[in-house]
Amino acid sequence: MQLFRSHVLVCGGTGCTSSNSEAIMSELNQNLVKNQLDSEVKVVQTGCFGLCEEGPIMVIYPEGTMYCRVDVKDVPEIVEEHLLKGRLVTRLLEASSQVQEDNQDIEQSSFFKKQLRVALRNCGRINPEEIDEYIAFDGYKALAKALSEMTPVEVIQTIKDSGLRGRGGGGFPTGTKWDFAAQQVNDEKYVCCNADEGDPGAFMDRSVLEGDPHSVIEAMTIAGYAIGATHGFVYVRAEYPIAVHRLQIAIDQAREYGLLGENILDTGFKFDLEIRLGAGAFVCGEETALMTSIEGKRGEPRVRPPFPAVKGLWQKPTILNNVETFANIPEILLKGSEWFASMGTEKSKGTKVFAVGGKINNTGLVEIPMGTTLREVIYEIGGGIPNGKKFKAAQTGGPSGGCIPASHIDTPIDYESLIELGAMMGSGGLIVMDEDTCMVDIAKFFLEFTVDESCGKCTPCRLGTRRMKDILEKITLGKGVMSDIDELETLARDIKASSLCALGQTAPNPVLSTLRYFRDEYEAHIRDKKCPAGSCKALLAYEIIEEKCKNCGLCLKNCPVSAITGNKKEKIPFVIDPTLCIKCGVCFEKCPVDAIKK
């Protein structure tokens, strides 16, 4: 085996690939050859490091130096300075100074220090397209252990004891689900993986598939052994081309190594996997709809019971877990249920990955032990809110979830605490909002989403969500009346009570949650015809504050509809004619002294 003195890891996740990390890799390889370093330094394309904000990211080992926002033009300098002469390219560290003080190991930086990577353990560490790298980090060892040392009952018991709960939404205990399916007697059973990550703003499942696809394959095979299934399906969004590509490579490699297929590891156990592509329907993230979709039909949900563990795919007993849930399984079998149960809170064990985005400095993926507070996530790991703005709320659980207001920022995050606050864990999207975000507008945004994505099967969901959206639209246009709030609440209650699947049952949550914490904002829109966040265009009125105005004339020059009058020389004060103003906000953006208010 060839040994290298240095390894350069370049992120090949979707975020960094979008900012050209592939070109950086090829430039890197060319420069290594040019400097005759190609036999000493190895370039590895990895999955996501998590710090997407600073991408494209490059990490050089053994020293663990992280370079951020690397450009193709920077590559020759990195090769000559860092790899040849052993000097840091401080310029590229500076961009990340907030996460990496004094070039300490990235593990010690504020972004990574409070994290605990279990599901993401191999993301940003191995080349996902090389099965050998996965095996070198104990890959497939858990499968070998299960097949050779454990009975299916013992596997299920271990998962039960660990306290692992579904990471895709509801938080159902994984071991219990497996147990139900294992108890069914049938000639055929199925294992399904839900990689139809539909929550807008969540991308951890994609990152696991892109960065560590073998962990999912291994876990699904273990699940097959535990419940007595020989066939599995991974249902992935078609919008995730890189994830699909790497998963297919991983499946092919696993087959080649005899880790999928007939007689796995010479134990007589057989199991194989197939990828099925989603086709852009959010409702297919619901378990029964997903199975209907795999069957090749319109992805409409079915009535439960019978639950999938009894009658699932093609009416056969089926278990369905999401990607992150599966990614935890091999570690639990290897390190034991006590180890897993030692992390987290009383009822929520282990870690959870969150996709932190929106108004936050360090956008990216973070994995934290359950029970970490929102404050730690936002201010320590996330680096706070940009431009010195005030934190207003964090939204979790996407269109099914709700928001956590600033007053509850110290709540430890776990399944129960989030439900109590009227939010939910969901798949782990965590969108941070600052004072400029209008909560009525956000509720409207989510309702627009559910109106689009309701499959149409149940009338309350199909028509009720549309009605709610119409009311919200009316309010944001300044045409609301106070009774609209009551009507929203009535509709919400009815839709929740009478929809068949979770999509409808949870669709009103964004409205209920914002009403719970930000009722005053709704009332301001309705009663005062004002948007306190200054976001709803119809309710804005731009005005120049005379005392602050320096008469520079920039606003006048930039106004596209000549709604501003005034004269610098003749000292005629600048004013905006509200009848001409189209509220485009250009004057507000251009004013150098913040003399324009909205």
Asked if 447 is part of the footprint of another protein (rule: CB under 8 A), the reply reads no
CA–CA gap between residue 98 and residue 380 (Å, rounded): 10
| Out of 299, 312, 369, 428, the residue judged to bind another protein by CB under 8 A | 299
Using CB under 8 A, which of the segments 141-149, 157-165, 328-336, 357-365 binds another protein? 357-365
DSSP code of 300? -
C-beta of 348: minimal distance to another protein in Å? 23
Query: 10 Å Cβ neighbour count for 358?
Result: 17
Give the residue with the Cβ less far from another protein, 290 or 549. 290
| Out of 199, 212, 287, 367, the residue judged to bind another protein by CB under 8 A | 199
Closest to 532 in 3D by CA, of 543, 520, 544: 520
- Contact between 371 and 412 under an 8 Å Cβ cutoff? The reply is yes
Give the residue with the Cβ less far from another protein, 334 or 582. 582
Instruction: Give every CB contact of residue 416 below 8 A, 6+ residues apart in sequence.
Output: 345, 347, 348
| Out of 156, 208, 333, 431, the residue judged to bind another protein by CB under 8 A | 431
Give the residue with the Cβ less far from another protein, 432 or 576. 432
Asked if 218 is part of the footprint of another protein (rule: CB under 8 A), the reply reads no
Give the residue with the Cβ less far from another protein, 260 or 294. 294
| Out of 45, 100, 215, 363, the residue judged to bind another protein by CB under 8 A | 363
SS (H, E, C) 545-565: CCCCCCCCCHHHHHCCCCCEE
| Out of 357, 371, 405, 508, the residue judged to bind another protein by CB under 8 A | 357
Asked if 329 is part of the footprint of another protein (rule: CB under 8 A), the reply reads no
- Contact between 208 and 122 under an 8 Å Cβ cutoff? The reply is no
Asked if 55 is part of the footprint of another protein (rule: CB under 8 A), the reply reads yes
| Out of 12, 15, 317, 330, the residue judged to bind another protein by CB under 8 A | 15
Query: 10 Å Cβ neighbour count for 203?
Result: 26
Asked if 200 is part of the footprint of another protein (rule: CB under 8 A), the reply reads yes
Give the residue with the Cβ less far from another protein, 143 or 377. 377
Query: 10 Å Cβ neighbour count for 33?
Result: 11
| Out of 26, 262, 314, 528, the residue judged to bind another protein by CB under 8 A | 314
Asked if 202 is part of the footprint of another protein (rule: CB under 8 A), the reply reads yes
Using CB under 8 A, which of the segments 1-9, 134-142, 339-347, 352-360 binds another protein? 352-360
| Out of 278, 308, 369, 508, the residue judged to bind another protein by CB under 8 A | 278
Asked if 364 is part of the footprint of another protein (rule: CB under 8 A), the reply reads yes
CA–CA gap between residue 319 and residue 476 (Å, rounded): 43
Give the residue with the Cβ less far from another protein, 150 or 244. 244
How many residues of this chain interact with another protein, rule: CB under 8 A? 55
Helical segments of 319-438, H only: 323-335, 337-341, 374-375, 415-420
By the 10 Å C-beta count (0-12 exposed, 13-18 middle, 19+ buried), 489 is classed as middle
Per-residue binding string, another protein, 130-159, x by CB under 8 A, is ------------------------------
CA–CA gap between residue 96 and residue 361 (Å, rounded): 11
Using CB under 8 A, which of the segments 253-261, 327-335, 350-358, 419-427 binds another protein? 350-358
Closest to 390 in 3D by CA, of 541, 548, 525, 533: 533
Give the residue with the Cβ less far from another protein, 125 or 316. 316
| Out of 175, 198, 224, 330, the residue judged to bind another protein by CB under 8 A | 198
Angle between helices 439-453 and 509-527 (to 10 degrees): 130
Angle between helices 483-498 and 509-527 (to 10 degrees): 170
Rule CB under 8 A: which of 389-428 touch another protein?
Answer: 395, 398
C-beta of 353: minimal distance to another protein in Å? 13
DSSP code of 388? G
Give the residue with the Cβ less far from another protein, 440 or 549. 440
Strands 391-396 and 402-405: antiparallel
C-beta of 379: minimal distance to another protein in Å? 18
Strands 318-322 and 190-195: parallel
Rule CB under 8 A: which of 451-510 touch another protein?
Answer: 455
Q: What's the chain's length in residues?
A: 598
Q: Which residues of 2-22 are buried (b: 16+ CB within 10 A; e: fewer)?
A: eeeebebbbbbbbbbbebebe
Joined tokens for residue 545: 């504050």
DSSP code of 141? H
Phi first, then psi: give them for residue 68, nearest 5 degrees.
-115, 160
CA–CA gap between residue 6 and residue 578 (Å, rounded): 64
Joined tokens for residue 300: 């409409």
| Out of 47, 429, 464, 504, the residue judged to bind another protein by CB under 8 A | 429
C-beta of 118: minimal distance to another protein in Å? 21
CA–CA gap between residue 383 and residue 381 (Å, rounded): 6
Using CB under 8 A, which of the segments 14-22, 38-46, 253-261, 263-271 binds another protein? 14-22
| Out of 136, 153, 279, 561, the residue judged to bind another protein by CB under 8 A | 279
Residue ranges that bind another protein, judged by CB under 8 A: 14-15, 18-20, 51-55, 198-203, 206-207, 238-241, 276-282, 293-299, 314, 355, 357-359, 363-364, 395, 398, 429, 431-433, 437, 442, 445-446, 449, 455
